[in-house]
Amino acid sequence: MLLYRGAIHLNLRNFFRLTGLILIVVAAGLFAAGIHELQEAGWFPFLEGTAFDISATLPDDSGLGAILRGLVGYSASPTTLEVVAWLGYLLIVGGLYLRPVASLAPPRAAVADGSTER
């Protein structure tokens, strides 16, 4: 309602850029969780060692850790392959998302005689 009445002015370009970045982080978490499940199934039997363990500080089964696990795929003790997959996804997809794109030039205005200006 506030947007409609003009009380709040949002820069939609920045708004959608930020929400796109948030979605990329969520997707990276889902990708890493999928890699973890494939490791448990035995499909990726490499880099299975624990990369780090912060379960004493922020466990992923209760409180803030559980919320982060549901939102962004947080794991208190991820495997090395999960960390590589998460970072790789962020770097590749995030880099593609943030790359500068050449804007298309608007069509040239037609001159009074019907031809286009050159």
| pTM confidence score | 0.73
Q: Is residue 82 part of a domain?
A: yes
Q: What is the DSSP string of 49-81?
A: SBS---TTTS-TTSHHHHHHHHHH---SS-BHH
pLDDT at 97: 93
User: Does a structural domain hold residue 14?
Assistant: no
Average pLDDT, the chain: 83
Confidence of residue 74 (pLDDT cuts 50, 70, 90): confident
Residue range 77-87, pLDDT digits in tens: 889 999 999 99
**Which residues constitute the domain of residue 66?**
46-97
**Count of structural domains, the chain:** 1
Looking at the domain assignment, is residue 39 inside a domain? Answer: no
Q: Where residue 107 falls among pLDDT bands split at 50, 70, 90?
A: low
